[in-house]
Amino acid sequence: MLVVADNFQITDPAICAAIDTMQAAPLQKRIRRYEAAGAQAIDVNMGPLGAHGSRKMVFCIEALQEVSSLPLYIDTVNSQAIEAALKICRNPVVINGFSLQPSKLETILPLAVTYDVDIIGYLLDPGGQVAADCQTRLALAIELYDCFQKSGLEPERLIVDPIVVPLIWQDGVKQAGEVLQTLRQLPDVLGFPVRTIAGLSNLTAGRGYREKRLLMEKAYLPMLSSAGLDMILMNINHSETIHLVHTCRVFTHPGIFTWEQI
Amino acid sequence: MLVVADNFQITDPAICAAIDTMQAAPLQKRIRRYEAAGAQAIDVNMGPLGAHGSRKMVFCIEALQEVSSLPLYIDTVNSQAIEAALKICRNPVVINGFSLQPSKLETILPLAVTYDVDIIGYLLDPGGQVAADCQTRLALAIELYDCFQKSGLEPERLIVDPIVVPLIWQDGVKQAGEVLQTLRQLPDVLGFPVRTIAGLSNLTAGRGYREKRLLMEKAYLPMLSSAGLDMILMNINHSETIHLVHTCRVFTHPGIFTWEQI
């Protein structure tokens, strides 16, 4: 599993302030810290981005790629800002992302075609709602892949997100299982070893219970790994969970095991 | 997952000495400690048992059931000692176990019939060797279940052990994956929700690397849980792993989640 940091968010007051006042240093300090903590890619979560969205995005991407060559996941629903990022981003880039929502099919998916980059597809229904179970997720995946193929992109460009939901949702525990089943069945259903990503922090969304949240995370992560997950979007400050990612890799990279490798 | 302690072993010098000198107190102290640490059943691993095997077994079972009502897993290849235990054991009891090895089919499986108790069946070939992969394990399971059914036992009496092997074996990492696949497919292959058990300590067998061994254990345990494992035979002194068993239960017992439950 590849570790994608989910910490770079415009909702973080310090990041928001640095972007508003066009100060690169605080942003660069962050990405250096995430990289040191084990991030192999950074989700640049810019929210919907209002006025000057493209300008803010460009400033941010420029600042980050000045100090890091990590892949950047461009995470916003603002297609103009995504395009602005794609035009200037020299690091490997992933659009995060599209779904069956008509606006995203119309404005975001085509950007992956134009700029020939990887794109994450969420298994959400056309209204943006989370599916109730594995079967519905797989049906959405078939529909999503159909749109994807029609756009002319190579299958390798697709990364599917089955959508992890908070455990505290009414059906949260059941959903955690449905996500695992979806991950296991996706390659067969789509007919190729499609790459997958999941947001671990979402599982324990909310406040309080820090120790328990870490425990739930550390129980669910190996389950995701064992179900075939390729990329984990997670809180890079959770060092024990990062360590666990490395440990899980032993099981997904067959070869002769030695204690020195972990 | 039910926690079965694997710590009660006649190879433990203190346990061996207590049995040899017929002192109940040290054995009773042990089982009390295992129970306090979270054991829900105890594997009474007596090895092959030589001279006075039945007498030693009876002494041991009597000592344990005097202070604990936990289920006892009678773990020896000595069928006479197993029978001696079954005759006097008042606690819930499980025979651990039989396989396709002719001697075990002839002498151990019939004891489960006579005393109408649960029995563990190992997915080993008739020569006692570990299977190379999932498909071979499933074929062994079908053969084992066939023998089991012919003996007249109810399906609910069977507990299958797919055999976890040490990671340091040449194909240890691959085998860890084959065990997970076996667990996932067993219910479909046998046609009923057969119960399963696996020995976690075996994964990290050997000396040294204590921290790393705990890490590997904590990565593999949720994978086993997610693959449907019912009972985990494990070192009861590993408190963090025990805690993780409880955490994993959240995912296997669907219902409304609250942070207070873990």
pLDDT of residue B91: 98
A250 touches chain B (CB under 8 A): yes
Flag whether residue B216 sits within 8 Å of chain A, measured between CB atoms.
yes
ipTM (interface predicted TM):
0.94
Average pLDDT for residues B173-189, to the nearest whole number?
A: 97
Interchain CB contact of A249 with B (< 8 Å)? no
Does B62 score more than 80 pLDDT?
Answer: yes
Mean pLDDT of B34-63: 94
Nearest chain A residue to B166, by CA? A257
Q: Is the pLDDT of residue B51 over 80?
A: no
- Tell me which residue of A118, A120, A198 sits closest to A156, measured CA to CA: A118
The dihedrals phi and psi of B246, each to the nearest 5 degrees, come to -60, -40
For residue A104, CA distances in Å to A79, A85, A117 come to 8, 17, 16
CA dihedral sign of residues A37, A38, A40, A46: negative
Reported confidence tier of residue A253, pLDDT bands at 50, 70, 90 = confident
Q: Work out the mean pLDDT of chain B and round it to a whole number.
A: 96
B64 touches B44 (CB < 8 A): yes
pLDDT category of residue A206 using cuts at 50, 70 and 90: confident
Q: Which chain B residue has its CA at the smallest distance from A241's CA? A: B219
Partner residue opposite A226 with nearest CB, options B168, B174, B180: B180
CB atoms within 10 A of CB A66: 12
The mean per-residue pLDDT over the stretch B15-26 comes to 97
Contact A177 B251 (CB under 8 A): yes
pLDDT at res. B262: 81
User: A254: pLDDT confidence band, cut at 50, 70 and 90?
Assistant: confident
- Residues A143-148, mean pLDDT to the nearest whole number: 98
- Copy the structure tokens of residue B99: 């396989």
The band of B132, judged by pLDDT with boundaries at 50, 70 and 90, is very high
Across all residues in chain A, what is the average pLDDT? 96
pLDDT at A155 over 90: yes
Contact between chains at A223 and B226 (C-beta distance less than 8 A) = yes
Do the Cβ atoms of B209 and A172 come within 8 Å? no
Query: Which pLDDT does position A238 carry in this prediction?
Result: 97
DSSP per residue, B114-160: HHT-EEEEE-B-TTSPBPSSHHHHHHHHHHHHHHHHHTT--GGGEEE
Average pLDDT estimate for B147-173: 96
Interface touch B250/A167, C-beta < 8 Å = yes
Q: Of residues B258 and A150, which shows the higher confidence score?
A: A150
Mean pLDDT of A28-41: 98
Residue with tokens 């999932």: B134
A174 CB within 8 Å of a chain B CB: yes
> What is the per-residue pLDDT for A20?
94
Distance CA B199, CA B231 (A): 9
Q: What per-residue confidence (pLDDT) applies to B50?
A: 80
Is B132 an interface residue toward A (CB < 8 Å)?
no
| Closest residue in chain A to residue B258, using alpha carbons only | A168
Residue A153 phi, psi (nearest 5)? -75, 150
Q: What is the reported pLDDT for B94? A: 98
Average pLDDT over residues B227-235: 98
